[in-house]
């Protein structure tokens, strides 16, 4: 799939919509940035490569009119989840699906090149080539991809009106939540100390909340509201933990595991871990995965009279 | 005592140990992959290779501070009478910020004009500022997104710092800028620095040339931005991708907006001042529920305008952006303030 | 509300108005002896209980939280407790992940006639919390 095919798809969709959201080059060779195209000449700036990490679906619930959007497989789960929760009018969205096998994690690349400034980035086969003042480094994409890519089942998006390329399979193993299970083996005290240390760094910038495609309360978020007053303005671990609990619990059964929250945290807090734990539990309890089937109902929105998987707890 | 000083690298921990006895010292340390300013403790290794994720602004302008505690006391003789006991928190310890960057230190100069150079100086800011000595490390390489030389600053700019330190081969060259800086040089372990001054100068010039220049000049930019105030199409185009979080403002060394909240449980409470962010949707939300900056393009226009237009117009052309690049680096969608300004110049 | 420092721990209970609160009432009328640590908050239905109530209680000073509602199929509002069951089960599994002992949160179903059962629930839960000790090792300062 070349970027030319993508540009062709965008040019085709553009007359039918008010804006098409895609990617263009960002502030340095290692960053892509969302790009809102309204005119055909803008389409020339479109890029498509593993730098295109942002989940562009996050903009959809807040845009009026007809919108075109470029989605990768992981992003497309947001579209499906929006359909389940009726957060978008599907007929007003033109989805341009793009087959994707892997993106990069900027944080992992920077760690691999020792935080040097990036002069040039190219992609060759399964590698990313990064040129820094220290020289050129060839890094396998698999080494600097975010956690989600290793278990990706959606190389081809679930929802699309136009597919820019051929449908492909990723042939990757299913997610068995090894990381979550390993963490649960640690002693209780260690788990608590771990989270207190991680949350202590939080500055409550709400980047994780605002980038999340499923967090649509934004202006009314209870983590910030004065009435009701759930959290204090004090900058201590209790309040920070409370925000993360609010965010995680409000996403229970809705989180599509796009891991954008973890990508954007400026303080490197592994926020996606909590959501993965909840996703793992809900899969076990209700055999449910968010964002897979538009006709599903999120598990916490419904119930069964007899719950085979929930046994009453003894004291 | 020599005018300048030189400290061999191996003597740095001892210097910090000695300073920790008289001051509370904050220095950058590595926690995972994040560089943070933390209270220095003996034996802790510093990370001086890149700027901290969060600038040291929180040391003088804390993210959340209690301005005063309140206690409501009912008169047992006459229950209708309530007296109020207020206790201000104005005790500040002598502090050193060690290993700040020139752009970080610049932020405090921006705050000084607003918090101190007024009829009533902010006592909380003043108290901390007067008791803090800023030791700044000059940069030996630019950081992704930074552009300090285009906003009237530089990788070795001393305005805002008390003592400048430059990393050389075998040690650090120290140059005092203020009396507070000279005090630090009185500590043991420093050699005469005069032999290293030229070397440091050359290093500064070399780095200066490497810093990215997103625009040639800011001459006329304050006026240009003001002229674009009603151009909604321009601002909507620039801000379409913004997600209205607070990462840019919280990580910005020159952002100084705050919120005041009274929190009370029963008869005791406190008044808390905490960071606010003009990017949040409720930044200008009024009690009546009217919101003059309802839309995100209005809010980003305010942020860019404040730094590159309103502040310079009020304070003799000083740009309220130090060019550190954090807002660009950490923005979830890579909104680039320097690019917006460049576009505005051409619009 | 002050608690008897040194003797009592802070245990918060969310009881549904119809069954569990009634059950607690029955236990009272029957003069059953119970520990006094539990502080009850009455809610219309266990379905009203937002998992964040439990989290907020634990993070802000509670040593244990108990939620009790009508037996499934007997909800006064037909299906409130069905939703509660799903939410609270999810929460019960999440808390240990964050380092909070799962025995500090318990949810159960007690009907209005089950006074003796209520006494047992309270006694056993309070005992379990006392065995675990305070959740906040030192009084957490408010800043």
Closest in A195, A238, A246 to C99, CB measured: A195
Q: Supply the pLDDT for residue C141.
A: 38
Burial C110-131 (b: 16+ CB within 10 A, else e): bbbebbebbbbbbbebbebbbe
Chain C residue numbers with beta carbons less than 8 Å from the beta carbon of A246 are 52
pLDDT of residue C98: 95
Residues in A closer than 8 angstroms to B64, CB to CB, are: 233-236
Assign A228 a pLDDT band (cuts: 50, 70, 90).
confident
Chains interfacing with B (3 or more CB pairs < 8 Å): A, C
**Are C90 and A300 within 8 A, CB to CB?**
yes
What value does the CA radius of gyration of chain B take, rounded to a whole number of Å? 22
SS3 A190: helix
SS3 state at A56: helix
Angle at the Cα of A217 (from B293 to A284), degrees rounded to 5?
A: 160
Stated as kind and residue range, the H or E segment containing A212 is: none
Q: Does C70 touch chain A (CB under 8 A)?
A: no
**The pLDDT value given to residue A188:** 96
Q: Do A33 and B334 touch (CB under 8 A)?
A: yes
Angle at alpha carbon of residue B104, lines to B100 and B105, rounded to 5°: 80
Share of residues in chain B with pLDDT > 90 (%): 88
Distance, in angstroms, between A109 CA and closest chain C CA?
Answer: 29
Q: Which residues of A touch B282 (CB under 8 A)?
A: 219, 224
Neighbours of chain A (3+ CB pairs under 8 A): B, C
The whole-number pLDDT of residue C140 equals 41
Give the one of A32, A207, A267 whose C-beta lies nearest to B245's C-beta.
A207
Asked whether the beta carbons of residue B332 and residue A36 sit closer than 8 angstroms, the reply is: no
Q: How many Å lie between the alpha carbon of B121 and the closest alpha carbon of chain A? A: 24
- Note the pLDDT of residue B1: 45
Q: Is the Cβ of C51 closer than 8 Å to some Cβ of chain A?
A: yes
Q: Give me the pLDDT at residue B89, please.
A: 86
pLDDT in tens, A55-87: 999 999 999 999 999 999 999 999 999 999 999
% pLDDT > 70, chain A: 100
Distance of alpha carbon B29 from alpha carbon B24, whole angstroms: 15
- On whether the CB atoms of residues A50 and A102 are closer than 8 A, the answer is yes
Question: Is pLDDT at C142 greater than 50 in this prediction?
Answer: no
Write out the two tokens for B53: 């994720």
| CB of A222 closer than 8 Å to CB of A246 | yes
- Neighboring chain B residues of C142 at a CB cutoff of 8 Å: 270
Q: Which residues make Cβ contacts (< 8 Å) with residue A197, sequence separation at least 6?
A: none
Of A188, A195, A242, the CB nearest to C56: A242
Q: Where are the domains of chain C?
A: 11-132
- For residue B66, the chain C residues in CB contact (below 8 A) are 143
Q: Is the pLDDT of residue A289 over 80?
A: yes
Residues of B in Cβ contact (< 8 Å) with A30: 144
Q: What is the pLDDT along chain B (347 residues), one digit of tens a residue?
A: 458 999 999 999 999 999 999 999 999 999 999 999 999 999 889 999 999 999 999 999 999 999 999 999 988 898 888 999 999 989 999 999 999 999 999 999 999 999 999 899 999 999 999 999 999 999 999 999 999 999 999 999 999 999 999 999 989 999 999 999 999 999 888 999 899 999 999 999 999 999 999 999 999 999 999 999 999 999 999 999 999 999 999 999 999 999 999 999 889 999 999 999 999 988 999 989 899 999 999 999 999 999 999 999 999 999 999 999 999 999 999 999 999 999 999 98
pLDDT digits (tens, 9 = 90+) for B190-211: 999 899 999 999 999 999 999 9
Contact residues on chain B for C143, CB-CB shorter than 8 A: 64, 66, 270
* Chain C contact set for A241 (CB, 8 A): 59, 98
Q: Are B154 and B178 in contact (CB under 8 A)?
A: no
Whole-angstrom distance, CA of residue C83 vs CA of residue B90: 51
Helical axes A237-250 vs C80-94, angle rounded to 10°: 130
CB pairs under 8 A between A and C: 96
What CA–CA distances, in Å, run from C89 to A132, A314, C82, C94, C105? 51, 13, 11, 9, 10
- Condensed to tens digits (0 to 9), the pLDDT of residues A11-55 reads 999 999 999 999 999 999 999 999 999 999 999 999 999 999 999
Give yes or no for a contact between C60 and C10, defined as CB atoms under 8 angstroms apart.
Answer: no
Which of A203, A210, A232 lies nearest to residue B244, judging by beta carbons? A210
Q: What tens digit of pLDDT does each residue of B21-77 get?
A: 999 999 999 999 999 999 999 988 999 999 999 999 999 999 999 999 999 998 889
Cα separation, B297 vs B239, in Å, equals 5
List chain B domain ranges. 5-346
Measured between CB atoms, does A150 come within 8 Å of chain B?
A: no
Average pLDDT over every residue of A205-212: 96
- For the stretch A95-148, pLDDT in tens is 999 999 999 999 999 999 999 889 999 999 999 999 999 999 999 999 999 999
What confidence score (pLDDT) does residue C143 get?
35
CA atoms within 13 A on the CB side of A89: 7
Residue A75: is it exposed, middle or buried by C-beta count within 10 angstroms (0-12/13-18/19+)? buried
Give me the pLDDT at residue C3, please: 66
Identify the chains in contact with C, defined as 3+ C-beta pairs within 8 A. A, B
C103: DSSP letter? G
Of C83, C99, C142, Cβ closest to residue A192? C99
pLDDT of residue A262: 96
Q: Is the CB of residue C41 less than 8 Å away from at least one CB of chain A? A: no
Q: Which residues of C touch B64 (CB under 8 A)?
A: 143
Q: Return the structure tokens found at C68.
A: 């009790």
| Cβ contact A201–B34 (<8 Å) | yes
DSSP type of residue C78: B
Interface of C with B in 123-142 (CB under 8 A): 142
- The chain B residue lying nearest A26, using CA atoms, is B334
Which residues in chain A are closer than 8 Å to C121, comparing Cβ atoms? Answer: 315
CB of C2 less than 8 A from some CB of B: no
What is the Cα Rg of chain C in Å?
15
**DSSP character at residue B287:** T
Using a CB–CB cut-off of 8 Å, the residues of B that contact C are: 64, 66, 270
CATH topology of domain C11-132: Rossmann fold (3.40.50)
Taking the C-alpha atoms of residue B274 and residue C59, their distance in angstroms, rounded to an integer, is: 21
- The shortest C-alpha distance from C83 to chain A (Å) reads 6
Residue C139 pLDDT level (bands cut at 50, 70, 90)? very low
* Per-residue pLDDT at C2: 59
Q: Where are the domains of chain A?
A: 1-103+146-173, 113-144, 175-315
Instruction: With beta carbons less than 8 A apart as the criterion, state whether A292 and A84 touch.
Output: no
Contact yes or no for B237 and A264 at CB 8 A: no
Question: Is the ipTM beyond the 0.90 threshold?
Answer: yes
Mutation target among B238, B334, B340, B341 for the A interface, most CBs of A within 10 A: B334
Name chain B contacts of A115, Cβ cutoff 8 Å: 49-50
Alpha-carbon distance of A103 to C48, in angstroms, equals 42
In this predicted structure, what is the pLDDT of residue B10?
Answer: 92
pTM of the model: 0.94
Report how far residue A213's alpha carbon sits from residue A216's, in angstroms, rounded to the nearest whole number: 7
Q: In terms of CA atoms, which chain A residue is nearest residue B264?
A: A232
CA distance A165 to A171: 18
Residue of A245, A270, A276 best to disrupt the C interface, most CBs of C under 10 A: A245
Q: Do B244 and A218 touch (CB under 8 A)?
A: yes
CA distance B275 to B58: 9
User: A117, A217, A259, A265: which to substitute to probe chain B, counting the most B Cβ within 10 Å?
Assistant: A117
Measured between CA atoms, the residue of chain A closest to residue C72 is A305
Residues of C within 8 A of B270 (CB-CB) are: 142-143
pLDDT in tens, C54-88: 999 999 999 999 999 999 999 999 999 999 999 99
The CA distance from C25 to the nearest CA of chain A, in Å, is 21
State how beta strands B34-39 and B24-31 pair.
antiparallel
The pair of three-digit structure tokens given for residue B181, joined into one six-digit string: 């800086």
> Chain B within 8 Å of A203 (Cβ-Cβ)?
yes
Here the tokens at position A92 are 């007003």
């Amino acid at each position: 799939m070349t970027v030319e095919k993508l540009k062709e798809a965008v040019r085709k969709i553009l007359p039918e919509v008010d804006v098409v959201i895609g990617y263009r080059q960002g502030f340095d060779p290692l960053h892509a940035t969302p790009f809102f195209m309204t005119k055909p000449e803008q389409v020339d700036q479109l890029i498509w490569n593993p730098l295109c990490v942002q989940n562009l679906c996050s903009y959809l619930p807040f845009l009026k009119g007809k919108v075109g959007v470029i989605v990768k497989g992981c992003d497309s789960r947001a579209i499906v989840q929006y359909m389940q929760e009726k957060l978008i009018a599907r007929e007003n969205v033109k989805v341009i699906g793009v087959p994707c096998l892997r993106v990069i994690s900027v944080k992992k690349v920077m760690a691999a090149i020792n935080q040097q400034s990036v002069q040039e980035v190219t992609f060759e086969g399964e590698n990313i080539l990064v040129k820094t003042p220290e020289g050129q480094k060839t890094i396998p994409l698999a080494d600097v991809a975010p956690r989600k890519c290793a278990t990706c089942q959606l190389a081809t998006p679930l929802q699309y009106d136009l597919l820019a390329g051929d449908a492909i399979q990723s042939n990757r193993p299913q997610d068995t939540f090894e990381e979550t299970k390993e963490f649960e083996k640690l002693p209780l005290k260690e788990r608590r100390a771990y989270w207190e240390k991680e949350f202590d760094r939080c500055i409550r910038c709400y980047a994780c909340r605002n980038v999340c495609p499923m967090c649509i309360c934004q202006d009314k978020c209870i983590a910030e509201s004065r009435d009701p007053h759930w959290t204090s303005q004090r900058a201590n671990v209790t309040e920070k933990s409370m925000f993360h609990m609010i965010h995680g619990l409000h996403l229970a059964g809705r989180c599509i595991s796009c891991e954008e929250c973890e990508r954007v945290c400026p303080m490197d807090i592994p926020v996606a871990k909590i959501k993965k734990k909840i996703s793992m539990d809900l899969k076990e309890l209700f055999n449910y995965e968010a964002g897979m089937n538009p006709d599903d109902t999120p598990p916490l929105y419904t119930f069964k009279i007899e719950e085979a998987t929930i046994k009453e707890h003894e004291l | 005592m020599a005018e300048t000083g030189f400290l061999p690298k191996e003597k740095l921990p001892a210097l910090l140990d000695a300073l920790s006895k008289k001051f509370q010292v904050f220095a950058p340390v590595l926690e995972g992959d994040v560089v943070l300013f933390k209270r220095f403790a003996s034996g802790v290794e510093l990370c001086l290779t890149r700027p901290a994720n969060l600038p040291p602004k929180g040391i003088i302008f804390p993210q959340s501070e209690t301005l005063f505690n309140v206690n409501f006391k009912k008169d047992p003789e006459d229950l209708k009478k309530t007296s109020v006991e207020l206790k201000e928190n104005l005790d500040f310890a002598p502090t050193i910020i060690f290993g700040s960057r020139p752009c970080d230190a610049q932020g405090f100069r921006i705050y000084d004009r607003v918090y101190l150079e007024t009829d009533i100086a902010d006592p909380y800011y003043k108290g901390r500022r007067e008791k803090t000595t800023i030791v700044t490390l000059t940069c030996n390489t630019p950081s992704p997104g930074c552009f300090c030389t285009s906003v009237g600053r530089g990788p070795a700019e001393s305005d805002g710092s008390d003592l400048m330190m430059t990393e050389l081969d075998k040690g650090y060259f120290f140059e005092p800028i203020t009396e507070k800086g000279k005090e630090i040089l009185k500590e043991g372990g420093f050699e005469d620095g005069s032999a290293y001054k030229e070397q440091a100068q050359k290093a500064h010039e070399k780095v200066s040339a490497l810093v990215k220049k997103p625009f040639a000049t800011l001459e006329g930019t304050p006026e240009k931005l003001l002229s674009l105030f009603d151009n909604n199409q321009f601002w909507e185009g620039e801000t379409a991708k913004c997600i209205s979080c607070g990462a840019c403002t919280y990580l910005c060394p020159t952002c100084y907006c705050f919120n005041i909240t009274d929190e009370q449980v029963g008869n005791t409470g406190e008044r808390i001042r905490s960071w606010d962010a003009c990017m949040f949707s409720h930044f200008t939300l009024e009690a009546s529920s009217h919101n003059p900056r309802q839309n995100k393009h209005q809010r980003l226009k305010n942020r860019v305008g404040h730094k590159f237009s309103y502040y310079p117009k009020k304070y003799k052309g000083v740009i309220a952006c130090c060019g550190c690049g954090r807002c660009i680096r950490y923005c979830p969608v890579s909104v680039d303030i320097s690019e917006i300004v460049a576009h505005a110049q051409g619009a | 509300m002050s608690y008897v420092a040194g003797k009592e721990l802070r245990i918060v209970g969310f009881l549904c108005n119809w069954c569990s609160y009634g059950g607690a009432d029955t236990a009272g009328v029957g003069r059953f002896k119970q520990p006094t640590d539990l502080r009850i908050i009455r809610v219309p239905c266990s379905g009203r209980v937002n998992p964040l109530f439990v989290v907020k209680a634990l993070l802000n000073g509670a040593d244990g939280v108990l939620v009790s509602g009508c037996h499934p199929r007997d909800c006064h509002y037909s299906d409130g407790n069905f939703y509660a069951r799903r939410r609270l089960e999810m929460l019960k599994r999440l808390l240990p992940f964050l380092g909070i002992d799962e025995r500090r949160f318990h949810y159960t179903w007690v009907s209005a006639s089950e006074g003796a059962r209520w006494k047992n629930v309270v006694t056993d839960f309070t005992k379990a919390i006392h065995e675990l000790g305070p959740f906040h090792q030192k009084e957490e300062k408010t800043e």
